[in-house]
């Protein structure tokens, strides 16, 4: 019955499931029944697979038959390579056939769909620089270098595209480089003393699987109350746990954990990290800004 006396019918169904069900991460847990609808998303568990990282090596060897834009001055050229937000530069070399012999290192994430932009910059004077050409290369087109003793990467010549499309004065300008993705290394994104993964980017170099790590996080007791609503009264701690092993990150529910996860073990000296946090995002007070605290690790 509504306040005006009109009858209302509520159609509802009850369903019981386990963590293996797809809807588990979206379910509204009974311990958080008093959480506002806009904040329910902050109480839900999450699983994130971080992309694996790979080194990208651009070895700039030399340039051949380069010329300045005006065709009169002797060029003073350096090479600038760009991959996403990463920018690397070589030293300045003089003449039409400059030599650099420098390695420019980058880090890319899987899948290797990014593009490397290599620009040749002529330093006309202290106040002016001009681009005299560039080379564009996709990572998927580079050599996949898996470090094996005695192997060497091939050196190739690449035609330089003029900076101005209508410029056809330098059809024979080329640059000599070695371009490769160094997949035989592991790019560390965590403390080396407590690393959970030492595997190379190339899967064929991975060691055999040693076993499976299974972790069940059920709850916590004796937590310090950290949330203050502003009136001098403290509420209970809205805690959750973040666990990491390898490239897998898992976040439990807020207020009630009951989370289970598994990971494959490939190294005996790897470390599993779990940290306990508290947040303010479950409160219904709009004026309170989101704050997070790390309670332990």
**In terms of pLDDT, which residue wins out, 163 or 68?**
68
The confidence band for 289, taking pLDDT boundaries of 50, 70 and 90, is very low
CB atoms within 10 A of CB 132: 23
Strand partners, 277: 240, 294
Question: Residue 108, Cα to own-chain centre: how many angstroms?
Answer: 8
User: Are 121 and 144 in contact, with CB atoms under 8 Å apart?
Assistant: no
| Direct distance between the N- and C-terminal alpha carbons of the chain, in angstroms, rounded to an integer | 51
Mean pLDDT of the chain: 80
pLDDT band at 288 (very low <50, low <70, confident <90, very high): very low
Has residue 39 got a pLDDT over 50? yes
Domains of the chain in sequence order: 22-50+191-296 (2.60.40), 53-182 (2.60.40.150)
* Selected residue with higher pLDDT from 128 and 255: 128
- Poorest-pLDDT segment among 18-27, 101-110, 137-146: 18-27
Of residues 282, 274, 276, 243, the one with CA closest to residue 261:
243
Closest of 54, 55, 66 to residue 135, by C-alpha: 66
Q: How far apart are CA 242 and CA 297, in angstroms?
A: 9
Considering only residues 86 and 31, tell me which one the structure prediction assigns the higher pLDDT: 86
Paired residues of 158 in beta bridges: 175
Residue 45 has pLDDT above 50, yes or no: yes
Reported confidence tier of residue 135, pLDDT bands at 50, 70, 90:
very high
Assign 48 a pLDDT band (cuts: 50, 70, 90).
confident
Q: CA–CA distance from 51 to each of 142, 158, 173, 203, 238 (Å)?
A: 19, 30, 38, 14, 29
pLDDT in tens, 94-126: 998 999 999 999 999 988 899 999 999 998 888
DSSP string, the chain: --TTS-------------TTSGGGGG---GGGTTS-GGGGGGGS-EEEEPPPEEEEEEEEEEEES---TTSSSPPEEEEEEEETTEEEE---EESSS-EEEEEEEEEEESS---EEEEEEEEE-SSS-EEEEEEEEEEGGGSEEE---TT--PPPEEEEPBPSSTT--S-TT-EEEEEEEEETTS----S-GGG-S----SSGGGPPPP-EEEEEEE----SPPP--B-SSS-B----EEEEEEETTEEEE--SS---EEEEEEE--TT---EEEEEEESTT---TTSPP-EEEEE-
pTM, two decimal places: 0.75
* Range from 114-118, 217-221, 293-297 that averages highest in pLDDT: 114-118
């Amino acid at each position: 019955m509504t306040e005006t006396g009109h009858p209302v019918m509520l159609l509802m169904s009850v369903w019981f499931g386990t963590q293996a069900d797809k809807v588990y991460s979206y379910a509204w847990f009974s311990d958080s029944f008093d959480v506002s609808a806009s904040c329910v998303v902050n109480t839900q568990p999450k699983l994130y697979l971080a992309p694996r990282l790979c080194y990208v090596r651009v070895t700039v060897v030399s340039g051949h038959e380069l010329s300045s834009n005006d065709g009169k001055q002797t060029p003073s050229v350096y090479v600038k390579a760009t991959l996403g937000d990463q920018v690397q530069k070589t030293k300045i070399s003089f003449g039409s056939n400059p030599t650099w012999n420098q390695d420019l290192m980058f880090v890319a994430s899987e899948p290797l769909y990014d593009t490397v932009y290599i620009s040749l910059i002529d330093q006309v004077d202290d106040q002016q620089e001009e681009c005299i050409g560039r080379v564009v290369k996709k990572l998927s087109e580079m050599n996949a270098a898996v470090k094996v003793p005695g192997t060497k990467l091939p050196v190739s010549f690449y035609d330089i595209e003029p900076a101005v499309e209508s410029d056809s004065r330098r059809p024979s300008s080329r640059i000599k480089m070695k371009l490769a993705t160094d997949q035989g290394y592991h790019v560390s994104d965590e403390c080396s003393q407590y690393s959970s993964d030492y595997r190379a980017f190339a899967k064929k170099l991975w060691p055999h699987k040693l076993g499976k790590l299974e972790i069940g996080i059920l709850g916590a007791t004796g937590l310090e109350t950290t949330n203050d609503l502003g009136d001098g009264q403290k509420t209970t701690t809205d805690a959750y746990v973040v666990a990491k092993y390898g490239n897998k990150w898992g976040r439990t529910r807020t207020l009630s954990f009951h989370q289970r996860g598994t990971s494959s073990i490939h190294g005996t000296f790897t470390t599993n990290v779990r940290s306990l946090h508290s947040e303010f995002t479950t409160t219904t007070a709009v004026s309170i800004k989101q704050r997070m605290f790390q309670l332990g690790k």
